[in-house]
Chains A and B, each alone.
Chain A
Amino acid sequence: MFSYKAVYVIVMREFKRFFRQRGRFIVSMVRPLIWLFIVGAGFTKIIDVGEGADYIQFILPGIVGMTILFSSIFSTISVVWDREFGFLREMLVAPVSRVTIVVGKLLSGTALAVFQGTLLLFIAPILGLDVGVTDFLAMIFLMTMLALAITALGLFVAPFLTSLEGFNVIMNFIVLPMFFLSGALFPISAIPRAIRFLSFINPLSYGVDSFKHVLLPAGGRLTPEMPIVLDIAVIAVFAIIMTFSAAIVFDKKK
């Protein structure tokens, strides 16, 4: 049986945990700043991206994408964690359907990711990017789409991970390549032809591209590379497929 109350309390729990794990909170806030103000600022000095945008401005959409990626994938840990520490069983034995639990985890992962992405948006003016109210709302919408898609991906993977060690493997072999191949730090057109297809099967590429549409001024060499309609369509389809897959796998494997 589906229970809204259960979804609500699962989401509340994840938020409480997020704010109580000081370290996790600080890392998630500081990591994007390191990328922006150390890596980004450094490369701005040596990379000439032509008129339009500075390099540091160019990577803001990518860093927002990264924040969402890391935060959403963290909901994978939260499931593996709950299993390791037994709390998952407390949820599984409750009279709510498995789908309820998946939806709870999906919404909490998404909300936390969007929350962090939104905080990051407030940096845009410091970088000289002009983000108006409509842009802001558009970003919230796009970030929610991407966060849903990636959280669902994480939830789909979680049941296959038997321990927290497995998560390290995922982190290094899936998450980091996803980030580097997404066009976050350099355009997809700059990626070697032989592996460029990896960028195109990477959902994050479409998310980052959609952010570029909203955040970056037109012109220059570092503009979006795909139509926004395609970005949204791909992410939506990916999110839907992953959500259903996650629900099915979760029900089968727990």
Chain B
Amino acid sequence: MSENNSIIKVRGLVKKYNGVEAVRGVSFDVYSGEIFGFLGPNGAGKTTTINILCTLLGYDSGSVAVNGFDCRKSSHEVRSSIGLVFQEITLDNQLTAYENLKFHSYMYNMERKTTKIRIEELLEVVGLTARRNDLVREFSGGMKRRLEVARGLLHRPKVLFLDEPTLGLDPQTRKHVWSFIEKTRKKFGNTVFMTTHYMEEADVCGRVAIIDNGKIIACDSPEELKKSMKGETIYLKTADNERAARELKEKFKLEAKVIDGGLSFNVAGGEKFIPRLFEGMGVEINSISLKRPSLEDVFIHLTGREIREETASPRSRTRGPGGPRGMGRGRG
């Protein structure tokens, strides 16, 4: 895909809050029809960037264009080209699902006839036809989310923005929401710009930009990003990590990082490497696990830390060899 195919064009974007830079010189393109993901930890500047793209927020320098319109000069045209699902729920609880959609159709000056057909169609797609006349107040989190995505698509926007669309949903519902974001994109051919801090979700994206601390540190397809990792990640717990790290360096020429009381390093042909490791190491190995590189590993590799420090520590990957993500899985 080429540059002239880009539907979002951001160059040198800087946004300051009270003098502190939240977005620090970000540039990227989103191509027409793709799913583009913004991946980053809390406070990275994802929402800030989305709000700027949606003309809800001004910026300090750089240039931002959506669908060929400048976000500052032609905010009206930009707003006509986009649909938006915010990080927080923004439905009216005291209206029904149908009324929320109808409100939207009036705000976007849609024709009465097409509105009716499209509302029915979208309610069907998101599986809420039976609940159309229920107050949104009575909906579960997942249902609200689905309704919001339907609303975001109602006026057939060129670009659908999704700010953490699956935040706070259980894994099953998250999958569900994704499957029909995919489904609707195939059906309507809109571009999707989404943010998430669930690394595994970014796999649905055609391309992802990894953003940290207001800067894009990598931008490519998930496959390419993972390939750049070379080999597999091995996570090791030993009786003496310091000595183990030294031995790894001396005997195998491997640089290990200390993460959460264990060692982590990348090695090509990881499965074959493990037996050699057991032979060669003088330190007692308590547990070991091997993982194909995920986007999370890419993130750790690029930043030297985990995306969600508090929740996803390596501990969850290494409940001993029998653990859910233990040794056996690497071969699968």
Contact residues of A with B, CB < 8 Å? 1, 3, 5-6, 8-9, 13, 16-17, 20-21, 85-87, 89-97
Contact = CB atoms under 8 A, between A and B. Distances in A.
B279 interface: no
A16 B99 contact: yes
A21 B108 contact: no
Contacts of A16: 94-95, 99
A94 B76 CA distance: 8
B20 interface: no
Interface stretch (B78-86, B125-133, B194-202, B205-213): B78-86
A90 B95 contact: no
A9 B92 contact: no
A16 B100 CA distance: 12
Contact of B109 (A3, A91, A92, A93): A3
B106 A93 contact: no
Sorted nearest first, the 8 A-B pairs with minimum C-beta distance are A9-B106, A86-B90, A94-B107, A95-B80, A95-B79, A90-B90, A86-B88, A5-B106
A16 B89 CA distance: 20
Interface in B74-126: 76-77, 79-80, 82, 84, 86, 88-95, 99, 102-104, 106-109
A97 B109 CA distance: 13
A95 B108 contact: yes
B239 interface: no
A19 to B, nearest CB: 10
B168 to A, nearest CB: 14
B177 interface: no
Given A87-B92, A94-B79, A13 B109 contact: no
A164 to B, nearest CB: 15
A13 B95 contact: yes
B272 to A, nearest CB: 53
Contact of B107 (A9, A17, A21, A85): A9
B54 interface: yes
Given A86-B86, A89-B90, A5 B95 contact: no
A20 B80 CA distance: 31
Contacts of B84: 93
Contacts of B109: 3, 5-6, 95
Given A3-B109, A5-B106, A16-B99, A21 B94 contact: yes
A89 B103 contact: no
**Of A5, A9, A91, A94, most B-chain CB atoms within 10 Å:** A94
Interface string B259-270: 000000000000
Contacts of B102: 9
B94 A89 contact: no
A87 B107 contact: no
A91 B107 contact: yes
B293 to A, nearest CB: 37
Contacts of A9: 102-103, 106-107
Contacts of B254: none
B95 A1 contact: no
Nearest to A1: B76
